[in-house]
Amino acid sequence: MPAIDSIPGRLLARAQATPDAPAIWHQPPDSGWQAISWGQYAAQARAFAGALLAMGYGKGWGVAILSDNCAEWIVADMGAMFAGAVPAGVYPTLTGEQAAYIIEHCDARVVVVQDPAQWAKVHALRDGLPLLERIVIIQGAEQVSDPGAVGFQAFLAEGAAHADAVQARLDGLTDEDLATLIYTSGTTGLPKGVMLNHRNLAFTSKAAMDVIGGVGPDDCMISYLPLSHIAEQMFSLHLHVTGGYPLWMCDRLEKLKETLLTARPTFFLGVPRVWEKFKAALEAKLGELTGAKGAIARWALKVGHAAVPELVAHGAPKGLLGVQYRLADKLFYSKLKAQLGLDRLNVASSGAAPIGRDVVTFFWAIGVPIHEVYGQSEDCGPTTFNQPFPGKRRLGTVGLPVPGVQVRLAEDGEILVKGDNVFVGYLKNPEATAEALQDGWLCSGDVGEFDGDGFLKITDRKKDLIITAGGKNVAPQHIEKLLKAIEGVGQAVVIGDHRKYLAALLTVDPEGGPALAARHGWPTEPGALAMDPRFKAHVEAGVQAANGQLARYETIKRWALLADDFTVEGGELTPTQKVKRRVINEKYAAEIEGLYT
């Protein structure tokens, strides 16, 4: 057992206390759901660590993991920490060159890849990776002819005889030792390696458990967001072993619905784009209801929206509205949540990017209360949190500071953070570290404000601020949230830096757009819908409604509608669904210029 309180130590304690209880549910190829127990999880992590040490792995060396979410990802990450090595997740959607940059940057001698396709991505650039010794393949290793490659289970077998060496590494861990690397998504250039130590992870996971009211073996969660991201790691790795709940692995977003129905999670983390897609799909289905079912659904949604303020403030509405809400829950909300697999849900949260007020309100209205969280990789994920308790949550904010974390505003409104969750620095980048860490405070790069009760509101990213030709500073994210609330619109990007007025690029929502079109008899194919004058008139009305909530200098004067939504594959979004403004400005330069001619 490590001498310090650490994530590896918590796993060992969990395996000792409940060795046979399920820790990870996963679906091996051509198989049904299978459980890996806490005892098996710890044993596999030890074996992975042993295989690293058998290679002569030094403390602090990197281990890159290039795969979709799976049990082996979790084992490799934990096994690297057992060996005193440093896991570094690599988004599987990255190109070979982007992946190779991270592999080289973290000094990885071992790369864990999902399958032969990911192996080929690394193998093609191996000459430029002189430190790389082994490629561990999770699935399909037998299809690869490469003396430097090995199957995942074979790699674990290599470590079985090195338990004593692993224990010695565990015993030697300190709070200050580097525990993991989180690579930023690179929206503004090359990704930076965020260095988090064992104190960071142990403190933050304990604080997160306290904030959400505690979790335990009766709870469960689905791991489906990219594990290279700090938010998913915090819930699927660190909070997982801290709270001791089972984890259900979902390797593709397309399988999320069926996994929800099987796992029926008690808490669920989503990025705004996931919640937006849920909302669009639900609204499309609700719009198809007719007769008595349609009438009940419309009445229940009306009651739910009326009850939201009371639900947020007090947990339940009172009086006549309370009676109506309980009836609506019996007739509609409970059935809808059961169909979604959310009937056991205790806590739902949204993070990684701003979420529209309309999206949050919709889910509160149907009995799925979303609690917005704010943070970044540099402080292990959570800075502030809307807690699932009356009085400790407020819509339109990102919540209260996490206990034990100090949050204040600089003179220009930048959010500054101090606490045991704040990172060590950026790997091999002292200049960026010095810029981000000043006098012990993390300079977040985000601009915000506190309300009278201490709830934080995010107004924008400092680097995203638009300065118009007239010298006005404009925060685009607030405007974009209003534009994305237009039914049938998927994404919105505000343009106007050094321009005489603001304009916007809007995309047709691939689900919400056709659903809206079908109800009105408009063409449902996105390309045709984007050209349809009736849909354009609908969008124009939405833009004008948004303008009515903005100062004159913030209003959108012209806009262009794109048939294709922004995607990770298209390069416009990061793997965590954040917009890459620079890419969009370059890719749609002609459309943007057309808005100013």
pLDDT digits (tens, 9 = 90+) for 312-329: 999 999 999 999 999 999
What share of the chain has pLDDT > 70, as a percent?
98
Let me know if residue 2 belongs to a domain: no
Q: What domain range includes position 353?
A: 273-374
Q: Read out DSSP for 69-132?
A: S-HHHHHHHHHHHHTT-EEEEE-TTS-HHHHHHHHHHTTEEEEEESSHHHHHHHHTTGGG-TT-
Average pLDDT over residues 63-69: 97
Let me know if residue 393 belongs to a domain: no
Judgement on whether residues 289 and 202 belong to the same structural domain of the protein: no
Average pLDDT over residues 369-392: 95
Q: What is the pLDDT of residue 401?
A: 97
Of 317, 348, 374, which closes a domain?
374
Q: What is the pLDDT of residue 506?
A: 96
Of 358, 374, 390, which closes a domain?
374
CA–CA separation, 162 vs 56, rounded Å? Answer: 11
Average pLDDT over residues 488-506: 91
CATH at residue 234: 3.40.50.980
Of 356, 374, 392, which closes a domain?
374
Average pLDDT over residues 434-457: 94
Instruction: Strand 267-270: give its sheet, edge to edge.
Output: 267-270, 347-350, 370-374, 384-385, 400-401
pLDDT per residue over 91-130, tens digit each? 998 889 989 999 999 999 999 999 999 999 999 999 999 9
Judgement on whether residues 340 and 206 belong to the same structural domain of the protein: no
CA–CA separation, 264 vs 246, rounded Å? Answer: 12
Name 373's bridge partners: 385
Q: Of 160-169, 356-365, 571-580, where does mean pLDDT reach its minimum? A: 571-580
Confidence of residue 88 (pLDDT cuts 50, 70, 90): very high
What total of structural domains would you count in the chain?
A: 3
Taking the CA atoms of 577, 62, 238 and 422 in sequence, report the sign of the dihedral they define. Answer: negative
Q: Of 319-333, 351-365, 575-589, where does mean pLDDT reach its minimum? A: 575-589
Confidence of residue 303 (pLDDT cuts 50, 70, 90): very high
Judgement on whether residues 251 and 279 belong to the same structural domain of the protein: no
The residues near 338 (Cβ < 8 Å, ≥ 6 apart) are none
Q: What is the pLDDT of residue 186?
A: 55
What share of the chain has pLDDT > 90, as a percent?
81
Let me know if residue 573 belongs to a domain: yes
Q: What is the pLDDT of residue 464?
A: 75
Judgement on whether residues 190 and 289 belong to the same structural domain of the protein: no
Judgement on whether residues 199 and 57 belong to the same structural domain of the protein: yes
Let me know if residue 13 belongs to a domain: yes
Judgement on whether residues 43 and 130 belong to the same structural domain of the protein: yes
Let me know if residue 58 belongs to a domain: yes
Judgement on whether residues 477 and 355 belong to the same structural domain of the protein: no
Let me know if residue 408 belongs to a domain: no
Residue 2 reports pLDDT greater than 90: no
CATH at residue 482: 3.30.300.30
Average pLDDT over residues 149-173: 96
Judgement on whether residues 52 and 153 belong to the same structural domain of the protein: yes
Average pLDDT of every residue of the chain: 93
pTM (two decimals): 0.83
Judgement on whether residues 194 and 277 belong to the same structural domain of the protein: no
Judgement on whether residues 225 and 277 belong to the same structural domain of the protein: no
Residue 494 reports pLDDT greater than 90: yes
Let me know if residue 451 belongs to a domain: no
* Most confidently modeled range among 26-30, 242-246, 575-579: 242-246
Judgement on whether residues 79 and 227 belong to the same structural domain of the protein: yes
Q: What is the pLDDT of residue 185?
A: 67
pLDDT per residue over 541-567, tens digit each? 999 999 998 878 889 999 999 999 998
Q: What is the pLDDT of residue 391?
A: 94
Residue 112 or residue 473, greater confidence: 112
Q: What is the pLDDT of residue 147?
A: 94
8 Å CB contact between 356 and 489: no
Residue 30 reports pLDDT greater than 60: yes
Average pLDDT over residues 481-494: 93
Q: What is the pLDDT of residue 581?
A: 85
The residues near 125 (Cβ < 8 Å, ≥ 6 apart) are 96, 97, 100
Judgement on whether residues 19 and 158 belong to the same structural domain of the protein: yes
Let me know if residue 398 belongs to a domain: no
Q: What is the pLDDT of residue 1?
A: 67
